[in-house]
Structure 1
C-alpha cells in the first residue's frame, strides 16, 4: 500500500532596478503577459487525461489533505494559519533548549542596506572567484581595459547563479569541483563608454563568452570553510554562447529544431540565461535556460499567424533586441532563422568530470523559461525532475523517467545514466483548493479552515513520441510546452522559480516569487494557491506525493510560507510565532541543508532591505522558524545557495546594478573597494570556530 506524505501544517518585478529588468529578463514586467489562455479546468479534460484508477488516487489524497485540517493535530504544527499561538505553544516553538532549530542556531542578520556581504556574528567569509578570474591555461588575468573575447572565454563568466560542488575524492580529498551558471551580461557595467544603441563586435563577442557555464576546481582550507579557486586545473572548463551543445531526446532532429546552419536539428551553439539548476545522483549537473527570449529579434516581422502566436507566447522581442546580437549573427534574428529560438529554453545536462564531453539539451523535459531542474529517485530508481517556468501566470512541471539509474561506476553504467532524461513522461500541475471560492478574496485573508491548501493532479503532456494533448504532435508538445499546458488547463501560478524536493521527506517546495499582475484588469484573480492580488512578496508552496512513488499523478499541497512583513496579517510562517521570524520578500532560489532545513535566497526584496539568504525549519517544533543568514551588497541579488556542514556558498549576482549605474559611475564598491570594477562573485561563509554551520 502506498504511503502518502502528511502535509505539515511594483513595477520592476519587486525591488529590482529598471537596469536589472532591462538586462536580466528583457523588461518582462512591461510587456503583455504571454499567457492569455482561458484554461479553467473542465471535467472533460479530466476524462481525457486521467484514468478511473488515477482519479481514485487523487481522491485518496483529498482524504488525507482533508484530514489535515484544523481538527487534526499535524506533525510539527497544530495551529490554524490565522490563529495566534498560545504562550505555551510559543514556548514549545522556540525549542526546548531555547536555541532554535538545529542548523539555524545563529543570531539572525538584521535587515540592512550595507554595501557588503553581511554575515552573522562569529562567521567569516571570502570571495572564492570573481568575474574575469582566469580558470583555463593561457587565460590572462582580468584587465577591464584590455578585455577580449578570447580572454573572457578562458575566464570565469559574468553574473554567476546556480552553484554545485562535486567531490573529487582520492588524492584530492580537500578539493571539490565547483560548477556555476552565468545567467546574463550587463554591458553597462562591463564596458567603459558603452553605447547600447551601437555595441561593437568585440563587445558582443565578449558578452557571448561571458554567458554559459564555468567548471573550476576549488581548494578547501583544512582549518576553516574557506575555498579558493585552483586556476588552470585540467578539469576547469568554460562553456559559452558559441560552444557546441547536442540536442537529445524525442524532439531532437525534428523539423522544428532544424536551421540553415544545422539541417540535422541536433547541434546547437551555446546556452543562454542559465538560472537555477540541479545536481543529479549520477554525478552530472542540470542547468535551466530561462529568459532566452530576450536575445532574439524581429518577431514582429514574422507573418505566419501560427508562428507569430508561438513567438508571442514565449515573449519574443518584436523589434531589435536589447543587445543587438542579431547585427552580428543572423541566428538571433527570428525573421531569418525562425527555428533558432526553438533551440533555447531547455534543461542542459553537463558531465563536469569530463572536460571533453558535449553537454546535452534534454528535449524530453520540455521548453519554457526553466528556473530549476532538481531530481529525486523513485523507489525503483527512476529519476523524477521538478521544474518551474518563471513567468507570471505560468506553470510548474515534472518529468518522470522510464529508465532506472545504475549505481555502478563502469563506463557502460555512466553511458546508461546519461540517457535517463531522454525517455519518460512530461507532466504539468493542476492545483485545486479545498475552500469555497468566495473565501479567497485576494487580500490574503485565510479561509475558514485556517489554511491555504488542497489537492492536485499531474496532467500528462507527452510520453516519448506519443502526445497526450489533443491537436498537438509530441514534437510540438516538447518545443511549445507552454501551449500544450494551456490546452490541458494547468494552474496559472505566481512565477514558479526554483523547485526543490526535500532529500529527507520527499516533500517538494516551490518558490513563487511574486506577481504584481494578479487580480488586475483582464488578468486572473486570486486562487487558493496564489491567494493575494497584486502579489509583491511571493510565497512558498509545499507539495506532498506518495513517499515511495513520486512518479504518481496525485498530490496534496499547502502554502508553507506566505512572505512579507511579519506584522502583516496576510503573512504566514508555517504556524511559527511571527514575532520570532525575520522578514522576507520575493523568494527565488531554494536549497536544503544537511539537517533538512530549507534555505531561501531572495530577488527583489520589497521591504526596504537588501536581498539575502534565509534558513527555515521544515519539520519539528521549530517548523516555520525563519532566520536571515546574510545580506548582499547594493543592487545585488542572492543566488545559487549551497549549504554544506562547514560552509555556505552564495552567488552574489549583479552587484551595483542600480538605475544610472555605469562603469564610470559605479553604485557599489564591492568586492574590491573604491576605484575597482564592480564584479559578480561567489562567496564562501564559515564559522570562525570551525564548527558546523548553525549548530
Structure 2
C-alpha cells in the first residue's frame, strides 16, 4: 500500500527541490553560467523611441498551430469547480463582458489534487505515460517496465504539443508531443539514485524524446481519445538516429569516436518548447541538456573548460549516472558529445520512416522555443529563447523562400530553409532614465516599461560576424558569441509566440531570483524588478512590419504577481479584476487573438495553471484563469482550439521526498495507482465553443 505524502516545500520561484533536481540539474544552485559584463537595457540610448512611437504591426503570415477543427474528450478525474474571481464590474462604463474567447467562470487559486476546470466544462485523459502507441507495444505495467516496451509507449513528462490535420481522416488530429525529462524516483519502485541499473537508464533514454500520436474525436460527446497503433504513430527517443544539417554539420567540434564525420547523432534530450513550420514539419528545442553529462571538471584545457562552464556542464557525476552505461555521457571520455545537444530538431510527422534532423544554423543553447512566421516574400523567421537566468533572446532569418504545395520538389526545397540564413541576438534599450528603474517594479513616469532594440547578427552561413570566432564556433558556442556582442541579459526567456493577428511577438520571461543581487546583473527596463520571483510577458513589434528587420520596439505587456502588489502591471487593465498569475512559461494564441499562458513554479502559493488574456481592445490585459493542475505538477502545452483546450500535465506529484512508495499526488488514476504525466482535454458540456 502506497503512503500518501503531503506537500513539503519549494525551491526559489515556487518549484520543489525535486523538480530542480531532475528537470534542470539544480541550475538555481549552481553558479550562473553567464558571467560576462556586457551592457544592460538600462543603459539608455539618447533618442530611444517610447511606446507612443511604436509601429503598429500589420497581420502577417504565421503558423496557426492550434487553429482548426478542435476536438477533445475522455475519462479520468471528475469535474472540479472553483469559485469565480471577484471583480467583474464594467471598466470605465464599457462592456462588463470578458473578451470573446475568455467568457468562462474563472477558476480561483487552489491546491486541489486534480485538474480544476471552469463550471460547465468537462475533461478527460487523452493519454498517459506508458500507454502503448506502436504496434506490438504492451500495456503499461509499472512493475514490469523495460526499455523495449517504453520505446513503443507514450514517453514521460509530456511538454510542448503540436496539433496538425490527418489527411483523409475526418475528426482526427495528429499530435506531436515532447517528453522533456524523467523522474526516476517516481517511475521505479525502490529506486536507488546512487546505484541505478542499466535497465533503468535505458528506460530513461526511451522515455525521453517525442511521441507522434493520432487522436480521435467522439462526435457526440466531444471526447478526445488516442488512436493506438495508427500508421503515423511514432516514438523518437534518446537513441533515435538524427541527421546533422546546416553550416556546422561535419565540424570538428561535433566529431566523436562513434561519429568521426560529425553528421549523425543518437537521440534528443530535454525537449521543451517547439513550433510548427509553414511547410508542415514540427520543431522541438533541446533545453537543459547539460545535466546529462558528467565529469566536466576533469577537463583542464582552458578554452574547453570555459566553454563547458558557460553551458553549465557539471564537474562531477550526473544525477542519473548514465555515464556508467554509455561513455558518450562522460565528458572526460567523449569531450565533443555534449556539443551535439542543445539544438532545435525538426521532424516530419507525416513520414514515420524519415530521419529527424538537428539544425545547426539556429545555434546551440538551452532552446525553449522555435516559433516561426513568414516574411512578406515568403522567408521563414524563427524566434528563440535561451531558458537560463541572464541569457538571451534570438532570431533566425532564412535566406530562402518557401515553396508552396506538397510536391516532392517543394518538400525537398523546404527542408533546407532552416539551414541557410542569418542568426541574430537581441539587444534591448529602455526609453526611461535609469534612475526611474529602481528595482521595485514601480512604473517610470511615462507609464510603461518600454523602449526599442536591435538585432545583432552573429553568423550567416559560413561567415562569422563575431570577432575572434569562426562561424562554426558561433553556431556551437552561441552563448559565448552573444556575450561578445553585448546582447541583453534577460530573466529566463522561455516560450515565444507571434500573434497570428497583429504579428507582435510575445516572450515569456519566467523569473530570475538573482536579478539585482550583488555581483549579478542589475535591473533594467525590460527586467525591472530585483529578485524577480514572478516574471513578465514582453511584447515586441518589428520595425516596418517586417519580421526580417534589424530594429524593433518593445514594451512589457504583463508584469506578473499578486494584483495587490504595486510591482505588478496588467496591460493597463484594473488590477482588482484579474486573476493572480506567476511564472509564465508556455504561451499560445486562440482564434480570437487572446494570449494563453501556462505557468511553471507559481510563487503565489497556488498550483500552476492556464490563463487567458486579451491582447487588444478595451479589455486588454485582463487575465482570467481557466484551470489548475494537480499537486506538484506544471502546466505545459498548451493547445487552445475553438472547441477544445488541451494541456500537458507534467511531473504530477513531483514534491520533495516523494517516491513510488510515498506519492505526493493521487492523480490521474486514484489512490494506489502510479502517478503518471498525462495529456488532458477540456471542453464545454453544452458543446459550444470555448469562452464565447
**Which of the five TM-score ranges fits, normalised by the shorter chain?**
over 0.9
1:409 CA drift (Å) = 1.4
The reply to whether residue 577 of structure 1 matches residue 563 of structure 2 is: no
Residue aligning to 1:26: 25
Map residues 500-515 of structure 1 onto 2, 5 A cutoff. 500-515=497-512
Task: Verify the 8 A CA contact 2:133 2:153 in the aligned structure 1.
Answer: yes
Task: Verify the 8 A CA contact 2:155 2:208 in the aligned structure 1.
Answer: yes
Supply the distance in 1 between the matched residues of 2:40 and 2:682 (Cα, whole angstroms): 47
The reply to whether residue 337 of structure 1 matches residue 323 of structure 2 is: no
1:453 CA drift (Å) = 0.4
The reply to whether residue 126 of structure 1 matches residue 112 of structure 2 is: no
Out of 106, 110, 121, the residue aligned to residue 112 of structure 1 is 110
Residue aligning to 1:291: 288
For the residue of structure 2 that corresponds to 1:300, the secondary structure is: helix
Map residues 163-242 of structure 1 onto 2, 5 A cutoff. 163-170=161-168, 172-242=169-239
Out of 389, 393, 402, the residue aligned to residue 392 of structure 1 is 389
Map residues 345-494 of structure 1 onto 2, 5 A cutoff. 345-494=342-491
Residue aligning to 1:627: 624
Supply the distance in 1 between the matched residues of 2:162 and 2:307 (Cα, whole angstroms): 34
Supply the distance in 1 between the matched residues of 2:12 and 2:649 (Cα, whole angstroms): 19
Task: Verify the 8 A CA contact 1:90 1:577 in the aligned structure 2.
Answer: no
Specify whether residues 64 and 525 from structure 1 end up closer, same or farther in structure 2 by C-alpha distance, changes over 3 A only. Answer: closer
Supply the distance in 1 between the matched residues of 2:93 and 2:635 (Cα, whole angstroms): 28
Residue aligning to 2:38: 39
Out of 534, 538, 542, the residue aligned to residue 537 of structure 1 is 534
The reply to whether residue 144 of structure 1 matches residue 142 of structure 2 is: yes
Specify whether residues 583 and 475 from structure 1 end up closer, same or farther in structure 2 by C-alpha distance, changes over 3 A only. Answer: same
Supply the distance in 1 between the matched residues of 2:558 and 2:223 (Cα, whole angstroms): 32
Residue aligning to 1:65: 51
Supply the distance in 2 between the matched residues of 1:68 and 1:92 (Cα, whole angstroms): 25
Supply the distance in 2 between the matched residues of 1:580 and 1:134 (Cα, whole angstroms): 44
Task: Verify the 8 A CA contact 2:49 2:451 in the aligned structure 1.
Answer: no
1:221 CA drift (Å) = 1.5
Task: Verify the 8 A CA contact 1:41 1:488 in the aligned structure 2.
Answer: no
Supply the distance in 2 between the matched residues of 1:193 and 1:214 (Cα, whole angstroms): 28
Out of 133, 136, 141, the residue aligned to residue 135 of structure 1 is 133
1:415 CA drift (Å) = 1.1
CA displacement, residues 292-329 of structure 1 (integer Å, 9 cap, x when unaligned) = 00000000000100000000000001100000000000
Supply the distance in 2 between the matched residues of 1:592 and 1:32 (Cα, whole angstroms): 35
Task: Verify the 8 A CA contact 1:216 1:237 in the aligned structure 2.
Answer: yes
1:102 CA drift (Å) = 0.3
The reply to whether residue 102 of structure 1 matches residue 100 of structure 2 is: yes
1:12 CA drift (Å) = 2.5
Supply the distance in 2 between the matched residues of 1:580 and 1:606 (Cα, whole angstroms): 20
Residue aligning to 1:82: none
Supply the distance in 2 between the matched residues of 1:413 and 1:227 (Cα, whole angstroms): 33
Supply the distance in 1 between the matched residues of 2:568 and 2:51 (Cα, whole angstroms): 22
Task: Verify the 8 A CA contact 2:50 2:451 in the aligned structure 1.
Answer: no
1:281 CA drift (Å) = 1.2
Residue aligning to 1:277: 274
The reply to whether residue 518 of structure 1 matches residue 515 of structure 2 is: yes
Task: Verify the 8 A CA contact 2:243 2:355 in the aligned structure 1.
Answer: yes
Supply the distance in 2 between the matched residues of 1:95 and 1:659 (Cα, whole angstroms): 47
Specify whether residues 675 and 339 from structure 1 end up closer, same or farther in structure 2 by C-alpha distance, changes over 3 A only. Answer: same
Q: Taking structure 2 as the reference length, what is the TM-score of the superposition?
A: 0.92
Specify whether residues 263 and 455 from structure 1 end up closer, same or farther in structure 2 by C-alpha distance, changes over 3 A only. Answer: same
The reply to whether residue 597 of structure 1 matches residue 623 of structure 2 is: no
1:67 CA drift (Å) = 3.6
For the residue of structure 1 that corresponds to 2:253, the secondary structure is: helix
For the residue of structure 2 that corresponds to 1:126, the secondary structure is: strand
CA displacement, residues 323-376 of structure 1 (integer Å, 9 cap, x when unaligned) = 000000000001110100000000001100000011111000000000000100
Supply the distance in 2 between the matched residues of 1:508 and 1:316 (Cα, whole angstroms): 31
Supply the distance in 2 between the matched residues of 1:13 and 1:546 (Cα, whole angstroms): 37
1:99 CA drift (Å) = 1.9
Task: Verify the 8 A CA contact 2:50 2:450 in the aligned structure 1.
Answer: no
The reply to whether residue 153 of structure 1 matches residue 139 of structure 2 is: no
Residue aligning to 1:52: none
Supply the distance in 2 between the matched residues of 1:375 and 1:225 (Cα, whole angstroms): 30
Task: Verify the 8 A CA contact 1:164 1:179 in the aligned structure 2.
Answer: yes
Out of 324, 329, 338, the residue aligned to residue 327 of structure 1 is 324
Gaps of 5+ in 2: 1-8, 57-87
1:94 CA drift (Å) = 7.8
1:225 CA drift (Å) = 3.6
Gaps of 5+ in 1: 1-9, 47-54, 73-88
Task: Verify the 8 A CA contact 1:225 1:684 in the aligned structure 2.
Answer: no
1:169 CA drift (Å) = 3.1
Task: Verify the 8 A CA contact 2:54 2:541 in the aligned structure 1.
Answer: no
Specify whether residues 246 and 541 from structure 1 end up closer, same or farther in structure 2 by C-alpha distance, changes over 3 A only. Answer: same
1:291 CA drift (Å) = 0.1
Specify whether residues 611 and 95 from structure 1 end up closer, same or farther in structure 2 by C-alpha distance, changes over 3 A only. Answer: farther
CA displacement, residues 127-160 of structure 1 (integer Å, 9 cap, x when unaligned) = 0000000000000000010110000000000000
For the residue of structure 2 that corresponds to 1:169, the secondary structure is: coil
Out of 635, 640, 657, the residue aligned to residue 637 of structure 2 is 640
For the residue of structure 2 that corresponds to 1:370, the secondary structure is: coil
Task: Verify the 8 A CA contact 1:95 1:101 in the aligned structure 2.
Answer: no
Residue aligning to 2:73: none
Task: Verify the 8 A CA contact 1:11 1:29 in the aligned structure 2.
Answer: no
Supply the distance in 2 between the matched residues of 1:167 and 1:626 (Cα, whole angstroms): 30
Specify whether residues 443 and 173 from structure 1 end up closer, same or farther in structure 2 by C-alpha distance, changes over 3 A only. Answer: same
Specify whether residues 412 and 608 from structure 1 end up closer, same or farther in structure 2 by C-alpha distance, changes over 3 A only. Answer: same
Supply the distance in 2 between the matched residues of 1:94 and 1:262 (Cα, whole angstroms): 67
Task: Verify the 8 A CA contact 1:94 1:622 in the aligned structure 2.
Answer: no
1:115 CA drift (Å) = 0.3
For the residue of structure 2 that corresponds to 1:416, the secondary structure is: helix
Supply the distance in 2 between the matched residues of 1:407 and 1:398 (Cα, whole angstroms): 23
Task: Verify the 8 A CA contact 1:283 1:351 in the aligned structure 2.
Answer: yes
CA displacement, residues 516-541 of structure 1 (integer Å, 9 cap, x when unaligned) = 00111110111000000000000000
Specify whether residues 114 and 38 from structure 1 end up closer, same or farther in structure 2 by C-alpha distance, changes over 3 A only. Answer: same
Task: Verify the 8 A CA contact 1:565 1:584 in the aligned structure 2.
Answer: yes
1:547 CA drift (Å) = 5.8
Specify whether residues 503 and 433 from structure 1 end up closer, same or farther in structure 2 by C-alpha distance, changes over 3 A only. Answer: same
Total equivalences in the alignment: 652
The reply to whether residue 561 of structure 1 matches residue 558 of structure 2 is: yes
